[in-house]
Structure 1
Amino acid sequence: MSRDRSQWSDLPKELLEIIAGSLHTKTDVTRFRSVCKSWRFSVPPFQTRIVLPPKVPYMGPPHLRESSVFLTEATVYYLSPPAGSISSGSSLSGWLVKIKEGQQVGQQAHLMNPLSPVQIRPLPDSFPKVINSFQFRVFEFAKSYTLQSSNLSYKVGFSQDPDCPSLMLVASGVLWHLKLGQDRWAVIDDMISQLSYEDVIPIPCQGKFCAVDEFGRTVLIDSSLKITEIVSVNSIRGGDGDKKNLVVSNGELLLVDTYLRGDHTYIGGRKTFKVKKFRVFKLKLDQKRWVELQSLDDQILFMGEDCSFSVSAHNFDGCKGNCIVFTDPCFNVFNLDDGSVSPVALHEEYANIFNPPSSPRPNPSPHRNVARRRFFSFW
């Protein structure tokens, strides 16, 4: 055992630098630095390259501006017990949590609804107050950014391009852009899709945003706010759904077209429609069109109000891929195989995605004294 540890600690510095260069999240860097002393001193603690301001300017006319408009960030984590940490014959699946950390040192973090910007309170009795990261494998699956004030809440796309870090959102069908450090939002001037945009997301590592309107027209917006059309209007055959959203899955850009039922209910004073079905399309950039997918294979799409992401079903015991988990406002599952919609509560394997396991628990870490200092404290 000691010889194996020595081999890990004796890896060449050049190789450690290559490995560290591929770590882009705080969780990955922290776990890398926890392997041994030489690894710990080979890279500095994780530092966010771009610090988001807690407050940003209001988008509307000056006489209607809110005094406090806050930009909040939350992280969707996947937690799973390490191999060999549970007894033989037991089944313990990984699960998802979304945490909104305090914006200042010492502020409390909050447990959020995984598919909306709503805080969960009171916390479920079964939820642990402390999760020891030495007893779980912890991965960051997604980030969500939300602009909130007393009477509004918008999903925000955040481009972390070091040359032009910026935000973009859709409000009343209009695209708004804010370069960090500036005191005024800019309206994206696009006469074709003005007032009809429905979603916008950042394109990783490109410094661009991708936006789609209600007719399926899709554009790229670069840091100079130049618009490049990549899919024209009405290029989706039968794409007459009620709401279009963009999501990246396995490095590919997907469009999810949502069809709503005619009936509706009021929740919290807001009109809410039930989902009838989804259709999923993949971008064929060379053909400048969206092509419908008949299957997502082993992928599960999580469609949230403030972020959407894709996860392999292999991460969750008993779950099958080729489905969409969404909220309207309760958690539901849409099965692409047969087009059915059913509550997550009727499927224990999917319900467990959002619930911490009650038993069995992972065995205590042999590095107990060290492990106590490395944990996620949710309040």
Structure 2
Amino acid sequence: MANLPQDLLVSIAQRVVSFEDFIHFGAVCKSWSSAAIKDNFSGTQQVPWLMMANLPQDLLVSIAQRVVSFEDFIHFGAVCKSWSSAAIKDNFSRTQQVPWLMIPDNEDTTIREFYDLKKDKIYKLDFPEIRGSMCYSSLGWLMTQSFGNLKVSLRHPLKHQRTIQLPNLTTFNDHHSDPELLKLLTGGNSLIQKFVLSSSPSFTSDYIVLIHSWERLAFWRPGDQDWTILDAQERRDSCWSYSDITYYKRQFYVVADDGTVSVCEFGHANKKANTRVVVPKMPSEVLGGSCLDYRLYLVEAAGALLLILRRDYRSKFRIMFRVFEVPLSDGRWSSDLEVENLGNITLFLGYNSSFSVNALQHPGCKPNCIYFTNQPLAYITPGDYTGIFHMEDGKIESVTNKLPEFRAPFLWIEPSF
């Protein structure tokens, strides 16, 4: 988008009638701003078809398809309604895109801040619909849970008006055995720890939403009136809880704090939805220590299902990661399953969102590295922060020095529709 011929940009700028549209035109990117000068604007033009909002659709589509930056695509869709109609998934390629880091909410404003890894820059977007909400992300979509109540919805960051209302969490909340412990683990504000989509609602209406808290799993499909709870087993011990969930090869997987990996079975006819263990718990010598000192993640990467162990050494203010391939074929943990080199893969791990990208296809992402965010208040440890872990030597560097300090977790947003 930034590389459109200057004469074409000037031609478009000269056809703008509305001063408001001219301002939006100049805000798209730097090259467009260079064409948004007084010599190219005439408020006297009154021919309707010359108005910016009525540019030919094929021209708008052509421009949209040349957009490289996710930021530029957001600005493109915000110019006016006709431009927004061209800012759809079919006209945008996620190749070359890098994840954005969503900065925690400032309750005094509707502005949300997003950090762009590639440009090392923070962008501000007006997003009043999610003010005062806890946010989670999957496949580029946001799930929001309002503080103080159990209302949840799906929202798209590019299309604020695109909202999918989900059933409230009353049923999900009622299935928890220890409300006081739940409040402690979640800081008293949020019930959900993470959500995962099977497919993007941008592509299809045939998708499943899976959520988990520390001891419960539930799913919802479009058309369902309420959340369906997966099994109702009690905690196995005082420390056991669900740690992470992911979608891999058309199935949902969940890992518990003891390393047990289970597959979710949603049931058919009279069969109850439940989970089935496919890999038993990890050896205690691998996990080591208390479950309060580590966290487990599940991430698909290069066709494999990976389990990542994050260990926080509180006394040393140090964070370490170990990566293992989940032995789905035989269900047996062994030392040769540890992955010491990710190759061109980059992992993004967060309390609310985790995924992988190929660094060769996403310039700005460092290969063989793990980008991680801080933990929520209930799990936070001294020295906890957002950083980049290098698999090669175990060194950690800061993502940027531009991020403000927050006790709430930052959120990775995958570059996907």
Higher share of residues assigned strand: 1
Higher RCO structure (Cα 8 Å, ≥6 apart): 1
- Provide the TM-score with structure 2 as the length reference: 0.46
- Provide the TM-score with structure 1 as the length reference: 0.50
Q: Highest Rg: 1 or 2?
A: 2
